[in-house]
Amino acid sequence: MLELRSITAGYTRNAPVVRDVSLTVAAGESVGLLGPSGCGKSTLARVAALLHRPDSGTLLLDGEPVRHWRHRAPRALRTAFGVVFQQARLSADPRLPLTDLIAEPLRATGRGREADDRTAELAPIVGLTPDLLTRRPHEVSDGQLQRACLARALVLRPRLLVCDEMTAMLDASTAAALVAAVESYRASTGAALLAVGHDRTLLERWCDRTVHWDVLA
Partner 1 sequence: MTCDAPVPAGAPAEPEWRAHGPKRRSTRALRVRTSAALVAATVLAVLLVPPLVQLDQQAVDLAAKLQPPSWAHPFGTDDVGRDLLLRCVYGLRVSLLVGVAAALTATVVGTAVGAAAGALGGWADRALMRVVDTFSSVPHLLLGIFIVAMFRPGVWPVVISVALTHWLSTARIVRAEVLSLRSRPYIDAAVSGGASRWRVAVRHLLPAVLPQAALAAVLMVPHAMWHESALSFLGLGLPTHTASLGTLIQGARGSLLAGQWWPTLFPGLFLIVPTLAIAGLAGAWRERINPRHRSELML
Q: Which strands form 2-9's sheet, in the order they lie side by side?
A: 18-25, 2-9, 56-61, 64-65
Assign 15 to helix, strand or coil: strand
Number of H helices, E strands in the chain: 9, 9
Q: Which residues from 37-56 bind partner 1, rule CB under 8 A?
A: 46, 49-51
Q: Is 90 in the site for partner 1 (CB under 8 A)?
A: yes
Please report, for residues 16, 44, 67, 71, 155, the alpha-carbon distance to residue 52 in angstroms, rounded to integers and kept in the order given. Answer: 13, 9, 12, 10, 22
Residues 120, 6: Cα–Cα separation, whole Å = 42
Binding mask 161-200 for partner 1 (x = CB under 8 A): ----------------------------------------
Nearer to partner 1, 170 or 210 (CB): 170
Q: Which residues from 107-166 bind partner 1, rule CB under 8 A?
A: 108-109, 149, 152-153, 155-156
Q: Is 82 in the site for partner 1 (CB under 8 A)?
A: yes
CB of 207 to partner 1, least distance (A): 21
Among residues 39, 47, 92, 122, which is the contact residue for partner 1, using CB under 8 A?
92
Nearer to partner 1, 23 or 156 (CB): 156
Number of residues that bind partner 1 (CB under 8 A): 28
Nearer to partner 1, 45 or 210 (CB): 45
CB of 76 to partner 1, least distance (A): 8
Q: What is the DSSP letter of 112?
A: G
Residues 137, 140: Cα–Cα separation, whole Å = 6
CB of 214 to partner 1, least distance (A): 26
DSSP E strand boundaries for the chain: 2-9, 18-25, 30-34, 56-61, 64-65, 81-84, 160-164, 192-197, 209-212
Residues 116, 128: Cα–Cα separation, whole Å = 14
Binding window for partner 1 (CB under 8 A); candidates: 17-25, 32-40, 101-109, 166-174: 101-109
Assign 19 to helix, strand or coil: strand
Q: Is 68 in the site for partner 1 (CB under 8 A)?
A: no
Residues near partner 1 (CB under 8 A) are 46, 49-51, 70-71, 75, 78-79, 81-83, 85, 87, 90-93, 95, 104-105, 108-109, 149, 152-153, 155-156
